[in-house]
Amino acid sequence: MYRSALIENIAPLRRFPVKIFMLLLSVWASLAFSATRTPVYSSKGLVASISPLASEVGAEVLRKGGTAADAAVAVAFALSVTWPSAGNIGGGGFALVHPITGPDSFIDYRETAPAAAGPDFYLDEKGELKGDESKIGYRAAGIPGTVAGLVLLHKKWGKLPWASLVEPARKLAAEGFIVDAGLSESLTRSAAHLSAYPETAKIFLNKGKAWQRGDRLVQKDLATTLTAIQKRGADGFYKGQVANLLVQDMKKKQGVLSHEDLLNFKAVEREPLHKKWKEFEIVTAPPPSSGGTILLEILGMMQGDKLEAMGSGSAEYLHLLIECTKKAFADRSVWFGDPAFVQNPIAKLLDPAYLAKRRAEIGDKAAHDISPGELLGEKPDTTHFTVRDSRGMVISNTYTLNGSYGSGVVVKGTGFILNNEMDDFTSKLGESNMFGLQQGKRNQIAPGKRPLSSMSPTFVYQGKDIVLALGAPGGPTIINSVTQTIINRLIFRMDIQGAADAPRFHHQWAPDKIVWEPFGITHDTRKILEAKGHIFADEPRNFGDIEALAYDAENQRWTGASDSRNGGAVVPE
């Protein structure tokens, strides 16, 4: 939020001579990213999310003696009300769990493809893509997994009654809440998308225009759906009236999702990835997310580099970071898919010898012809929240509708938005998805298959103790947001709020352009990188929303950060 104000305030300076203007711009850039908010400290639990209302809901659950799992369930349902662009019961995601006892676990509640979908689902008789079917409308939706995932999370690690955890969200939907600036801006940006379907427009637009700051947004149909889930758990969503309404609407609008698809969906518990990096251990997302592996690949290529000596924001560091990122994303385009359908060569991609070889290929100039590595034998809107309770349980959860407000479809009578997660599959070989990502055969559509993801909920250990838990939204930018925040915190020793707020850079191999943020790079540094052959996107843009908790050894307390790019909040127990 504060950066948009900076842009407005700096406009009059453009009357100055160019050299003076650039000097002032560099100074302002430094100020913009050094004067961040103070981290929130707590000797008990903490909840960090993009919605202050949802964070307060989670913190209240902790105050009542609930576990981090209880709080995570309550926050997820609350976000489905207060942050409808990505908070959801019509989408899916991943939860990384550090229980009080036992090993870390990974709950995969990623959406799956309907039984009627296949590799040619979006192709016409000539083999060409049929418009935007994978992005907009009823055929864009995968089978929602959020409710099943939250039920599994509560079953394994919850303590408080299920109904009590759904109640705050039900109440927010039934009685309404006051729209804040962040939600109003989000609705305004997506007004055209939301107006495409009458049921959606009826809820999220006020007489055809976005709800404004200070308005009360009431969602009666969503409250009814949440009541069904509150009373019957997963059966309240995958069976009964909610399921009937969903399937009936699908049949009327040429969708294919069926009762059998809903009944067959299962959330899956997986083992997370573990990898040593410098003096730390990273625990992160396994496939069907590519995020964890690519994050570890980027960090692994920099294993032997003295990053602290290079300095945060230096041309030397940014050149190395961007080149490692390009190589890792090139590998992403080929080697990943749902582990139930393909074998992901994770061990080979993270083999020290392979990473050293890829690192040795990086020279002083930007490479423009990077190819995926040869292995022997072988959206954008999401949201993230992080929770820690006073007993030490930690949950890092990322879930999504894929694009902002997903498919744009609200099923009549249910109040929730359906995802457009099918666009995360390879709809046609050689074609990019809505995030500009090119993906391979391993990620082609198949019945029951989970699409490839970039979501990267992550823990970092130092010795036996967690010292950092984080994640972010943003499609493929998630990986770079999380990677760079890890480096900012652990190597450049920023406090957690500064690490979350620091300027970020994104490169995903194709297209060959650096995505950069307003005021995120000095004029001189950019010139050095351009001289090395790097290509910058024409215009800057903000991306990501880090929600992180970190242990502050000096103060012997946990601290939390909610990205200053947005209007989120960290709330202590």
Q: How far is CA 248 from CA 38, 85, 146, 413, in A?
A: 50, 24, 21, 11
Please state, as a whole number, how many other Cβ atoms lie within 10 Å of the Cβ of residue 320. Answer: 18
Cβ within 8 Å of residue 4, ≥6 positions away: none
Q: How many CA atoms lie within 13 A of 62 on its CB side?
A: 30
Percent of the chain as helix, strand, coil, to the nearest 5: 40, 20, 40
**Six token digits for residue 175:** 């009685």
First to last CA, the chain: 26
CA dihedral 93, 94, 99, 104 (to 10 degrees): 170
Q: Name the helix (H) or strand (E) containing 164.
A: helix 162-175
398 is catalytic: no
Helix axes 162-175, 68-82, angle to 10 degrees: 20
| Contact between 470 and 482 (Cβ < 8 Å) | yes
Comparing CA positions, the residue from 488, 491, 477, 504 lying closest to residue 398 is: 477
β-strand partners of 160: none
Q: How far is CA 523 from CA 307, 424, 534, in A?
A: 22, 36, 14
Residue with the two structure tokens 């994303």 = 329
Comparing CA positions, the residue from 78, 111, 85, 107 lying closest to residue 94 is: 107
Cis peptide before 503 (omega within 30 of 0): no
Q: Which of 67, 112, 293, 382 is catalytic?
A: 382
E strands present in 477-568: 505-506, 515-516, 547-552, 557-562
- DSSP code per residue over 228-286: HHHHHTTHHHHSHHHHHHHHHHHHHTT----HHHHHH---EEEPPEEEEETTEEEEEPP
**Six token digits for residue 284:** 């992160």
Q: Catalytic positions, please?
A: 382
